[in-house]
Amino acid sequence: ATLNDAENTIDFTNAGTLTDYLFLNYQIQHSWKLGSSIYPHVHFEQANNNTPNFLFEYRWQRQGQAKTTAWTRLKCNTLAFTYTSGTLNQIAYAAAITPPSGYSLSDIVSIRLIRDTANASGLFTGADTYTGTVSVTAVDIHIEVDSIGSNQEYIKD
């Protein structure tokens, strides 16, 4: 995985392994409906009619509790749009992430995005069939909201 400054993307080649990743930390917003699932997905430039083996690894860090050290794997290869030709702004999404017990406002979800080209995780049906480099433009998480924010700094009432 390399940074493509000119295009403002992270580019994953066909040689991507489980040790090549983009990482980010996502703070759960105060508008989040406590206890509801969250939905990670990746935005990328699709240039052929195959789907990359995108893999999320995540750790949910609960505020005021011991650090979560284990990573959980989640495949991310369901496409939002049908590819026809050229370079398509595409979204690939994963299954929902259910919050662990003891969740709270301002929890942090640490995320790694990996292109698992050889299916080393064993979560895909086989090796990645997408030919060439995949350019990732963004990773984000959708949440269910039930308020504009919280009335207190760390407590929702």
Amino acid code (one letter) for 120? A
pLDDT tier, 157 (very low <50, low <70, confident <90, very high otherwise):
low
List CB contacts of 149: < 8 A, sequence separation 6 or more.
29, 30, 31
What's this model's pTM, rounded to 2 decimal places? 0.90
Using an 8 Å Cβ cutoff, are 39 and 77 in contact? no
pLDDT tens digit sequence for 60-85: 999 999 999 999 999 999 999 999 99
12 exposed, middle or buried (CB, 10 Å; 0-12, 13-18, 19+)? buried
What is the rounded average pLDDT of the residues 139-155? 81
Q: Cα separations (Å) of 49 from 64, 75, 96, 99?
A: 45, 19, 25, 34
The angle formed by the CA atoms of residues 39, 66 and 123, to the nearest 5 degrees, is 40
Lowest mean pLDDT among 22-31, 88-97, 119-128: 22-31
Q: 104 pLDDT exceeds 70?
A: yes
pLDDT tier, 8 (very low <50, low <70, confident <90, very high otherwise):
very high
Spatial separation of the C-alpha atoms in residues 115 and 18, rounded to whole Å:
7
List CB contacts of 15: < 8 A, sequence separation 6 or more.
117
Q: 154 pLDDT exceeds 80?
A: no
